[in-house]
Amino acid sequence: MTPASASIADVVAHRAYLVRFAMRRLRDPMLAEDAVHDVFEAVLSGRAAFAGRAALRSWLTAVLKNKIVDSLRRSPIHESLDADEGGEGTGRPGHDAICPLPGPEEVAEQRELLDRALAGIEALPAGLRDAIRLRVIEERSAESACRELGISEENLFVRVHRARKRLLS
């Protein structure tokens, strides 16, 4: 890869990271996949060109952020509240303002799920707990996690797989 270009394989290697990034912002797997697809389409069609002034992942993330903003602007949830001519709202219940934030019940439910997940992680054996913490919670690279744990990359993936399997059972 030359500094001013990126191969398709180099770009696609960042797909999992980009999907996770988009999921955290959009909270919808389909929209996240669409946004990442739009990034790849822009890169491959030449509408977005990597100039090598930043790391490839940083540049792809910046392109993805712009795609997410475009997606949110097209969303009916984010339409202007005074889109009608009078500026007085539609007069129909539930159509004057849409709050995208979760309600109190949903927040309480999410906190309860998070508490159970964290308790489950804490109950794992140390090797599995450390692997899932570094790789999934802290989103460290496999290389960084392996270096800290003193294990091979294959062993890391096995530990993360076993930890997930135990958490889901």
The CATH number of whichever domain residue 16 belongs to comes to: 1.10.1740
Rounded to an integer, what distance in angstroms lies between the CA atom of residue 3 and that of residue 11? 13
**Residue recorded with tokens 């990597």:** 50
Query: Residue 80 pLDDT > 80, yes or no?
Result: no
Residue 6, CB-side half-sphere exposure with 13 Å CA sphere: 24
DSSP 138: S
Q: In terms of residue numbers, what domain contains 157?
A: 105-168
DSSP 87: S
Residue 132 domain flag: yes
CB 52 within 8 A of CB 24: no
Q: Are residues 111 and 155 in the same domain?
A: yes
pLDDT of 168 reads 87
Query: Residue 5 pLDDT > 70, yes or no?
Result: no
The CATH number of whichever domain residue 120 belongs to comes to: 1.10.10.10
Q: Are residues 68 and 114 in the same domain?
A: no
Rounded to the nearest integer, the mean pLDDT of the chain is: 81
Dump pLDDT digits (tens) for 27-75: 888 888 988 998 888 888 777 777 777 788 888 888 899 888 887 787 7
Neighbours of 39 (CB within 10 A): 25
Residue 98 domain flag: no
Q: Are residues 150 and 112 in the same domain?
A: yes
Residue 91 domain flag: no
Rounded to an integer, what distance in angstroms lies between the CA atom of residue 3 and that of residue 10? 12
Residue 125, CB-side half-sphere exposure with 13 Å CA sphere: 7
pTM of the model: 0.43
pLDDT of 143 reads 93
Which range (62-71, 76-85, 141-150) has the least confidence? 76-85
State what percent of residues in the chain have pLDDT above 90.
Answer: 30
Highest mean pLDDT among 45-54, 106-115, 148-157: 148-157
Of the pLDDT bands very low, low, confident and very high (cuts 50, 70, 90), residue 1 is: very low
Domain boundary among 37, 60, 78: 78
Of the pLDDT bands very low, low, confident and very high (cuts 50, 70, 90), residue 95 is: very low
Rounded to an integer, what distance in angstroms lies between the CA atom of residue 96 and that of residue 50? 42
Task: Give the total number of structural domains in the chain.
Answer: 2
Residue 156 domain flag: yes
